[in-house]
Chain A
C-alpha cells in the first residue's frame, strides 16, 4: 500500500511538472500553430536562473524560506522574459512562414542548452532548496518527499490561474477565440499578435516555474533537463488536445501515473516506452477527435 501511495504521489508530481511545461505548449500551439521546440529550453532557463539566485548570487535570495521563494520568483521572471524575447525576436518575423517558425524554435532549443552548459558546465549541479521542503511526510504508511506536494500545488495554482485568466479576462477571451479562428479575431478589429506575445509570456512563465520547482524534484539542474522533458510534454499536449488546458491537465496526470507505475512494476523504461507508444496509438485512432485541428 505504501508503495502505491508513494508511486501515486510521485506520478502526480511528475504529471504536475509535465503540466507546467505542457500548458504553455498547448496554448501556443492552439493559438499560433507553432510547435515550440524551445519550450524545454525555457524551462531550463527558469531552472538555472532559480539555481543561480538561490546559490547566493541574487541579493535577498537564498536557499531557505523567503529567500528561496524570491529565487523561484526570479527564475520565473527570467523565463518569462526569455519567452517574450523568443516570440518577439524569433517567432514574430516569421509569421508568414509557419514551417520556418518551427525550425527556428528547433535552433533555439539546440542553442540554449549548449549555452547553459558553456557557462555552467554540462554536469548536473546540486540544486539548493529550503530545509523545510527537503523532508518527507507520512501518508498511509508511505514516506513521501515534500517536494512532490510542492509540485502538485504549483501546478494546481497555475491551472486555476490560467482558468481564471482564460475565463474571466478579455485577453483570455481573445486567446480562446484565437484558438478557434485567428483570422476572425483580427476581422473583429483585435490585434491578435498581442495575444501571441501574451501566450508566449504565460507559457514561458509556467515552464520556468516548472524548471524552478523541478530542481527540487530532481535535486539538481543540468542543461539537458528541459529538453528531455519536452518530449513527454509533447505527448501530454497531443493527448490532451492541442489548445485545451483541461485536456493537458488530465493527460499530464495520466502520463505521469502510467510512467511511474509501469516503470516500477515492469521493467524500468517500459513506462516511458508505453507513453510514447500510447501517443502514437492515440494519434492514429483519433487524429482529429483529439485535437480538432491536427490532421
Chain B
C-alpha cells in the first residue's frame, strides 16, 4: 500500500480550557475515500478543523510527508486541499458565481469550471442568484463545487449529506464518488449507506480519540463492533446496513435513506 496522503498523529485540541481532542491518529490513504466516523460529539468536526488549523491544535499533520501543523490555514489549503465544512460555509450574501470565484487560486492552475458545471449544471443557471436563497442541497453543491475547482489533492467533506432530501443525498454521493476517482477524499459522514458506498477505509473516533482504524467493509460487517463504535441501533439487523451498497443502485440507496443511517441528530 502506498504511503498515505495525510497522516495525523496525536492531534490535540483544547478550546477554552476544555480538551476536545485527546490525541487523534488518522491516515488518509493516497487514493480513494477514507471515512471519519463516530457518534455525535466524538470530535469528528473538531478533528477536521484541527487538521486545517481552524482551531488551535498540537500534534503532527503530515500532508504528503510535509509537516503542516505550523502553517496558517490558507497556506495549508493552498497546498491542495478543498474543504466543504459541516455548515457548508457558503457565503449567503454572495452570488453562486462569486462563491465559486472565491475558490479560484490566482497564479495556480486554471479553475476547472467545465468539470464543475458538468457535475452541477444547476449552478450555471443559478450563477447570479444569491447563495443564501438556494436550497440546502444546492448550497451543498456550491460547497463541493468549490473543492473541485482547483485540482486539489485532497477533499475534506464534513457531513455533506446532512439534512438533505434522499434524492439529493444520492446526487451528492454520486458526485463524491466520481470526484474520488481523481482526488483523495476524507469524508465525515453519518449516513452509513453513503459510507459503505464511497469509503474503502475508515477511522472511528470516540471521546476525542481514535478508537478504530481499518477497511470500512470489515467494520460494517461486524455488527457488534459497529454498534459499539457507532451506536447504530439496527446495524446488524434486517440487512439495511448489510446490504452491499456498492452493488445497490443509487435509487435503492435513496429509497431507504433513513434506515441505514446513524443519524442521531434531533
Contact = CB atoms under 8 A, between A and B. Distances in A.
Query: Is any CB of A less than 8 Å from a CB of B in the complex?
Result: yes
Contact of A188 (B75, B106, B146): B146
Interface in A142-200: 170, 173-174, 176-177, 180-181, 183-192
Interface stretch (B38-46, B96-104, B201-209, B220-228): B96-104
A191 B77 CA distance: 10
Contacts of A191: 72, 74-75
B91 A177 contact: yes
Given A186-B77, A187-B89, A177 B94 contact: yes
Contact of A187 (B77, B98, B106, B150): B77
Contacts of B102: 173-174, 177, 185, 188, 190
Q: In which size bucket is the chain A interface?
A: 10 to 19
Interface in B134-153: 146, 150
Contacts of A177: 91, 94, 98, 102
Interface centre among B72, B78, B89 (most CB of A within 10 A): B89
Given A186-B72, A186-B77, A181 B91 contact: yes
A243 B74 CA distance: 23
Interface string B143-175: 000100010000000000000000000000000
Interface in B69-123: 72-75, 77-78, 81, 83, 85, 89, 91-94, 98, 101-103, 105-106
Interface residues of B, number: 24
A190 B89 CA distance: 14
Contact of A190 (B74, B92, B93): B74
A173 B98 contact: yes
A187 B54 contact: yes
Nearest to A184: B89
Contacts of B81: 189
A180 B106 CA distance: 22
Contact of A189 (B54, B78, B85): B78
A186 B73 contact: yes
Contacts of B98: 173, 176-177
Contacts of B103: 188-189
B52 interface: yes
A33 B83 CA distance: 24
Contacts of A189: 74, 77-78, 81, 103, 105, 150
Contacts of A192: 74
B22 to A, nearest CB: 23
Interface string B50-77: 0010100000000000000000111101
A49 B101 CA distance: 40
Nearest to A179: B93
A105 B74 CA distance: 27
Nearest to B93: A180
B92 A180 contact: yes
A187 B73 contact: yes
A187 B94 CA distance: 17
Interface string A58-85: 0000000000000000000000000000
Query: Which of B54, B73, B146 has the largest count of A CB atoms less than 10 A from its CB?
Result: B73
Contacts of A183: 54, 73
A192 B54 CA distance: 13
Contact of A184 (B72, B78, B85, B105): B85
Contact of A170 (B77, B83, B101, B146): B101
Contacts of B85: 184, 187
Contacts of A181: 89, 91
Q: Which of B78, B91, B106, B150 has the most CB of A within 10 A?
A: B91
Task: List the 10 shortest-distance A-B pairs measured between CB atoms, nearest first.
Answer: A189-B77, A184-B89, A186-B73, A189-B78, A186-B74, A191-B74, A187-B83, A177-B91, A180-B91, A188-B103
Interface of B: 52, 54, 72-75, 77-78, 81, 83, 85, 89, 91-94, 98, 101-103, 105-106, 146, 150
Given A184-B91, A189-B103, 13 more contacts: A170-B106, A173-B94, A177-B91, A177-B102, A180-B91, A183-B54, A186-B54, A187-B74, A187-B77, A188-B83, A190-B74, A191-B74, A192-B74
6 contacts: A173-B98, A176-B93, A177-B98, A187-B73, A187-B83, A188-B83
